[in-house]
Amino acid sequence: MTRLLPLVLLCALAGCAPVRAWERGAHAHRCHRWEPSPVERGLRQHALDVREGKPATGGAAGSGCGCG
């Protein structure tokens, strides 16, 4: 166990790198967030529903063509 801990720490620290100020914008992009915004989540869910042909929330059946 005493030999394993330094090896695990070394592997964990090998992935760490300093981020320069001009690189932070790329790392803060919205695609890197764990949870999308409520609007984006709704749009994604709607796109999945249309693709699968699920009924719309209004009660009408979706056709899968994107019109519903």
* pLDDT digits 0-9 by tens, 12-61: 887 777 878 888 777 777 777 777 788 888 888 888 888 887 766 555 55
Contacts of 37 (CB under 8 A, 6+ apart): 30
Q: Which residue has the tokens 């019109």?
A: 67
* 11 or 26: which leads in pLDDT: 11
Please state, in angstroms and as integers, the Cα–Cα distance from residue 5 to each residue in 10, 11, 14, 16, 61, following that order.
9, 10, 14, 17, 57
Specify the pTM. Answer: 0.36
Q: What is the pLDDT of residue 65?
A: 61
Q: Residue 58 corresponds to which amino acid?
A: G
CB 64 within 8 A of CB 52: yes
